Structure 1
Amino acid sequence: MAGSVADSDAVVKLDDGHLNNSLGSPVQAEVYFPRLIVPFCGHIKGGMRPGKKVLVMGIIDLNPESFAINLTCGDSEDPPADVAIELKAVFTDRQLLRNSCISGERGEEQSAIPYFPFIPDQPFRVEILCEHARFRVFVDGHQLFDFYHCIQTFSAIDTIKINGDLQISKLG
């Protein structure tokens, strides 16, 4: 999603589907999030597809317990939407857990990572890149792990949900 802009303080949506950044130049956006308040739920225009990336930038709270970033198939609560990938950072255990949930059935949780990348009261950048067979997840520019798809209809993965002990500064 190169060129996507979604900073709530600097972006205004125009009637023609373009965004204006604070300098006034138009930027075509594939993802538009009007307010970056946690808990957050936003729509991914056109859903995911191979080559498409979701970017989450923010700051971890001072005394965090956990936070989660989920890519889901819609935002239904009852029945709950399928979860293509759930990333849950747990600070007490210094783990970044990954899972999926399809038709109410949770997959096998994955937890192995080379290091825990999040630091309380510090900024972070998470990129989730959709490839044909997997999501490739980067934190602060470093590839941390791959998560193989459980949902094959990528375009159905059209919602991002974020909650927990963080503030969001930018999504794209």
Structure 2
Amino acid sequence: AAAAAAASSSKLDDGHLNNSLSSPVQADVYFPRLIVPFCGHIKGGMRPGKKVLVMGIVDLNPESFAISLTCGDSEDPPADVAIELKAVFTDRQLLRNSCISGERGEEQSAIPYFPFIPDQPFRVEILCEHPRFRVFVDGHQLFDFYHRIQTLSAIDTIKINGDLQITKLG
């Protein structure tokens, strides 16, 4: 276990994945392999003060990618989506929405700037607060998204797909 703890605190060297096949179990999030499309379990679900970290590299010629926090991983019927972040490169937009009982909510798109660059690494942090998710990209707060699903502990799955590689989740 000490070796795993040491491995999880070491930085990524020359951009290579930290042997993703046997990646160490981190705090309370266990991820099997960081392959896109990705689906992983958030142990205990979300709660105020809990943060989800996604580090990755945008593909060379990206169209879009999405990061969603959902209530389970059911496809049929589709799991409720607490927040979906969708980066659209053609429009340089970062869209946010939810989907509850099959109904999409009101889409939000206002951002001060578009933070993602093709072929460049990024760090997205989704911080759960009592009334909202607060989203940071590369350390800068980009927007707030007020909870549309009130049972935060039910939000227990992260899904990632699109034109990116994942280098680290936590």
Size of the aligned set, in residue pairs, is 170
Query: After the TM superposition, which segments of 4 or more aligned residues of structure 1 sit over 3 Å from their partners?
Result: 3-28
Taking structure 1 as reference, are residues 79 and 123 closer, same or farther at Cα in structure 2, changes over 3 Å only?
Answer: same
State the partner residue of 1:91: 89
- Report the TM-score, using the length of structure 2 for normalisation: 0.87
The structure where helix makes up a greater share of residues is: 2
Cα 1:18–1:94 change in 2 (3 A) is closer
Q: CA deviation at 1:81?
A: 0.2
Instruction: Give 1:14 shift.
Output: 21
> What per-residue deviation string (whole Å, max 9, x for no partner) do you get for residues 71-104 of structure 1?
0000000000000000000000000000000001
1: CA distance, partners of 2:65 / 2:58: 9
SS state at 1:7 partner: helix
Preserved CA contact (<8 Å) 1:58 1:125? yes
User: Which residue number corresponds to residue 6 of structure 1?
Assistant: 4
CA RMSD in angstroms, aligned pairs only: 5.9
Deviations 1:145-164 (A, max 9, x none): 00000001000000000000
SS in 2 for 1:5: helix
- Structure 1, unmatched stretches of 5+, are none
- Aligned identity (percent) is 90
Give the deviation of 1:29 after TM superposition. 1.9
Q: Against the structure 1 CA distance between its residues 93 and 5, is the aligned structure 2 distance closer, same or farther, given a 3 Å change threshold? A: farther
Provide the rounded CA distance (Å) in 1 between the counterparts of 2:16 and 2:28.
9
**Aligned CA distance change for structure 1 residues 109 and 34 (closer, same or farther; 3 Å):** same
Residues 20 and 33 of structure 2 are in contact (CA less than 8 Å); yes or no, is this contact kept in structure 1? Answer: no
SS of alignment partner, residue 82 of structure 2: strand
Aligned equivalents of 1:16, 1:92: Cα separation in 2: 29
Give the drift of 1:15. Answer: 27
Q: Which residue of 2 aligns with 1:117?
A: 115
Tell me if the contact between 1:56 and 1:125 (Cα under 8 Å) persists in the aligned partners.
yes
